[in-house]
Amino acid sequence: MKTRAFLIASSVTIIAIAGVFYLTSQESISPANQAGTKSPTSPVIAEKTMVKEAIPAAPTKAVADQAQQPTTETAPVFSHKSIETFKKEYRQIFLLGNNVDRENKRNEIYEQLSRDPEIVDLIKNTVGNYESSQQYFGDEQAQARVASIKMLNYLAKQGNYEPLEYALSQTAVRLKSSEWVKGVEHDYSDLVTSYIGAKMGNDGDNYIAANFDAIARQAGASTRLYDPFRIGLELSLSRELSKENYLTISEKLKQLREQHN
């Protein structure tokens, strides 16, 4: 079932002082809901139908133009050497394809790249700043972003969460403040999955149920980002989701969906 929901609220206060009228207004607009395609869910979630809802969505251009732009720092500048080094390595990552030892070989590449702080900064900005990915990688920006998320996931599993957390929070800011650029919402879902996977360790679904609010805060989750957040979270769930955890996570998702933000 697909629906569209628009929440528009505005207030105008007129104050008369000494015969001069000052008009002030503040308008708050919730984004239009986005009709989207069916997202993958774990078998348990699909069977039990965790949440039946419309997919919140990319705002129209008219709404995006009115959205308040975030205050951002000047995008960092990276050396030609770092950019070319990363290009060489992410191309190698994809060339490994179905190599039987591809995981170990890719981890070796991630480990080598992680030793250069500038490349780590380049990678987290490639994901967290769409304009940077366009500027530095052009037609290969999609490949660069996918490879960057894989490396951020590797770093987080090694205990270095900061690069992934930065990319996740910046991507959330982008999606909540601008017209959606195709593919960025998928980056967000993948980052959510990577973040949860690195954090939950061996605790599995118990970690998600017990720390849902903290996960949502770190991910900048909101009604606007409900669908890509839900996808990322569901991809983290096991097939053997307990009834207790199912009920807890379902209720938390329902509350997130119904927020007015």
Report pLDDT for 74. 61
Distances from the Cα of 245 to the Cα of 42, 50, 195, 197, angstroms: 14, 11, 19, 16
pLDDT band at residue 40 using 50, 70 and 90 as cut-offs: very low
Tell me the domain boundaries of the chain.
33-258
pLDDT digits (tens, 9 = 90+) for 51-100: 333 334 444 444 344 444 444 456 678 999 999 999 999 999 999 988 88
CA 53 to chain centre: 19
Q: Look at the chain and count its residues.
A: 261
Strand residue runs (E) in the chain: 8-17, 20-29
What letter would DSSP give residue 223? Answer: S
pLDDT digits (tens, 9 = 90+) for 218-243: 999 999 999 999 999 999 999 889 99
Q: Are 29 and 50 in contact (CB under 8 A)?
A: no
Q: What is the pLDDT of residue 260?
A: 54
Mean pLDDT of 20-25: 36
Maximum pairwise Cα distance, the chain: 81
- Report the alpha-carbon distance of residue 149 to residue 171 in Å, rounded: 12
Query: SS3 of 24, please?
Result: strand
The span from the CA of 204 to the CA of 206, in Å, is 5
Asked if the model's pLDDT at residue 47 lies above 50, the reply is no
Mean confidence (pLDDT) of the chain: 77
What's the pLDDT band for 208 if we cut at 50, 70, 90?
A: very high
Split at pLDDT 50, 70, 90, the class of 130 is confident
Q: Is the pLDDT of residue 217 over 90?
A: yes
